[in-house]
Amino acid sequence: MGQFARSAEPRSAQSQRSKSGKRTRHHFVVKIVLMPRAQVAITILLLVPAGFCRPPEAGAQATVPVSFATANATPLNPGFAGFCTEMLASAVEYYDTNFQQITSTLSPGWLRYPGGALEDAFAWTNGLTMTNWISEFPPAETNLLNDTVKVLPGKGGALFSDFAAMCANVGGAKIVVCINAYTDTANSAGAFAEYALTHHIQVAAWELANEPYVFTGRGAYDFFLNSTDYVARMKPYRDAIKAADSNAVVAIYFNDAGVAEPNTWDNDLSNYTDKYWDAVVYHHYPVLPTNGVAFSGLMALDNWELASNTTVRMLDYLIPMNNSNVTFLITEYAPARGNGMGGKNPPCTTLYGGIYATEYALRMSTLPQMSFVGPYQLLNPNGIAQTNNFYQAVTTAYNDNRKTNTAGLPFGFFPGAQVAGEAVADWALTRSTAVYATAVGTNGPTVPIDTNGIAMIPAIYAQAYQGGNGKRYVVLTNKSATNAPVQIIQDGVVLTNQFLETFVTGSDPSATNAPPPNSAIQIQSQLTNNPVTIPEYSVVRLEWTVFNVPQPSLSINVFNSTQNLQWAGLTNVTYSVQAATNLLSTWATLGIVANTRTNFSLTNWNSGAQQFYRLVIP
């Protein structure tokens, strides 16, 4: 995360863009176990959510139509929703099974290594912060980096191999890597890509230098003169990564979406002639008041961000600035910018924070150019919180010149209120393959998008998805204090089937979670029918089965030292290929096969211990 407070005009204070500007503002399992050369055991595994209860009853509200069309669906990038995973100052190990277990309940489609600002002096080769690199940064950043100096060696480093294993163990989360292009070298970046390739670790995208605009135009500690200097100096890093892996996706940074537009950083990149990058990465931290504005006012300003600074910004601003084949990823966002030292400002960590983060991802999922979206961050009060940090355990180990293994210590992990809402939606996003065009009626409750309560938008937002598991999903948010009955309409016909409804809700949008059993915001489920009551301040997921996925017929062949798993499955179903060294051990996800494929290749199948394989339908 960019931890520095920046002077920037809040977007909600901007006036309408002139005709010459970029855009106009309005304030408004199948389980298949392969025995060596022999038998195949097949079992269907069904996932059934637990914990049933009923949300509040609807008041005398008009029924809001939520309509979607199944024709001409927009493909959804596999693994679309994920998390920044900044754990360099934490005592938690990547291989902590308790941490992996709670992470898997959040359905992460991707995770980011090694994180944000804390990686600016990080060496991937040993998983440590290099103390001789820290002095190149300004005092505020130095303080952040110093927080990692004892923790990392005390717990044995933050190794990429351990991170990749964690991603496999939490459901096959894809990997986004942020290269330290401040104090590490282009040759090191190339070696990193070579290591990933030769160790069969797929990296979905490579970012170059976390938030480079923070260290530009500020004086003594500048790393770049401007954005054109940044991309020019990143070219050797890109070339080194591509030399190691020609299929690598390399991303450069456009400015934070919380900064007023147009701005010099973005304009200079738009005019840069050699647009060599495959992808654009950016972060989004709204600049909200930190005092003098009630929580309701902060929600209103964030509502504006959702309505005017998500898909609108992409379509009217970023996409035209780049080549037509460029993809986009957002690897950090939050309801508000932090305090510059890792602290969280409201509405972060709250129930509304979860509603905001969820709707942000839902809106972005409608853009085929957007490949990955995820908030800051997995392990902190925005995400997985902890009762005990055991910081002293790792710092004591460092002071004693030894390493300690903290895996299994009683950290007391629990989901914060914000991530509880995100998890409701991410369950669907991670299991879906396409986005259906969805419309919400305008006869429901409304919410303000300014602190005066003048400009309003619908409180209900909804998005429908095609699951890769024989299901369909509709995910909804309610940003208001009013319950709203909705009617789900598919292809012009009101659905009469039963839905499994999973949701978080509360009467206080500023509610946060304390350690169990005192968590105010918890995920709940029940069976329901049309029309469905969407409770106040909520994230709701509706799901139903369209067809039952049949058991696939599996075969294996070996050609040129490559083992190919093949199955006569369905081309509209996503299969997760998993492996284990014995049937009672943890199953690691080797890959999630896109819904157009029915095969999976293994190049290292005959090395190491005997392996068992299975297919799981997410």
Domain ranges for the chain: 11-16+78-423, 64-75+430-545, 549-616
Residues 212-226 have a mean pLDDT of 91
Strand arrangement of the beta sheet that strand 562-567 belongs to: 554-559, 562-567, 599-602
Cα 391 to Cα 131: distance, rounded to the nearest angstrom: 19
pLDDT at residue 26 is higher than 80: no
Cα 163 to Cα 151: distance, rounded to the nearest angstrom: 16
Residue 119: CB atoms within 10 A of its CB come to 27
pLDDT at residue 510 is higher than 50: yes
Q: Is the dihedral of CA 52, 334, 448, 543 positive or negative?
A: negative
Q: Which two tokens stand for residue 607?
A: 């090395």
- Confidence grade of residue 259 (pLDDT, cut at 50, 70, 90): very high
pLDDT of residue 313: 97
Q: Which two tokens stand for residue 237?
A: 């890093």
The dihedral region occupied by 592, where left means phi > 0, alpha psi between -120 and 50, and beta the remainder, is: beta
The answer to whether 548 touches 46, Cβ cutoff 8 Å, is no
CATH number of the 549-616 domain: 2.60.40.10
Cis previous bond, 114, omega within 30: yes
Architecture (CATH level 2) of domain 64-75+430-545: Sandwich (2.60)
The answer to whether 80 touches 372, Cβ cutoff 8 Å, is yes
Q: Is the dihedral of CA 117, 423, 164, 387 positive or negative?
A: positive
pLDDT at residue 555 is higher than 90: no
For residue 110, what are the β-bridge partners? Answer: 174
How long a stretch of residues is the chain? Answer: 618
Architecture (CATH level 2) of domain 11-16+78-423: Alpha-Beta Barrel (3.20)
The answer to whether 581 touches 541, Cβ cutoff 8 Å, is no
Of the given ranges (129-133, 192-196, 340-344, 509-513), which has the lowest mean pLDDT?
340-344
Amino acid 464 reads A
The answer to whether 44 touches 551, Cβ cutoff 8 Å, is yes
Cα 573 to Cα 579: distance, rounded to the nearest angstrom: 19
pLDDT of residue 27: 33
pLDDT at residue 30 is higher than 90: no
Q: Which two tokens stand for residue 288?
A: 């909200």
Amino acid 586 reads T
Task: Using alpha carbons, list the distances in angstroms from residue 506 to 226, 450, 479, 521.
Answer: 46, 23, 11, 7
Task: Measure the CA angle with vertex 299, ends 295 and 305; round to 5°.
Answer: 145
Q: Could you tell me whether strands 588-593 and 279-284 are parallel, antiparallel, or unpaired per DSSP bridges?
A: unpaired
Across 312-468, the runs of DSSP E, i.e. the strands, are 327-333, 370-373, 384-386, 413-415, 432-440, 446-448, 456-458, 460-467
CA 310 from centroid of its chain's CA atoms: 15
Residue 49: CB atoms within 10 A of its CB come to 15
Residues 152-178 have a mean pLDDT of 97
Question: Can you tell me which residue has the tokens 């210590």?
Answer: 409
What are residue 116's phi and psi, to 5 degrees?
A: -110, -120
Equal fold, 64-75+430-545 vs 549-616:
yes
pLDDT at residue 187 is higher than 70: yes
pTM (predicted TM-score): 0.89
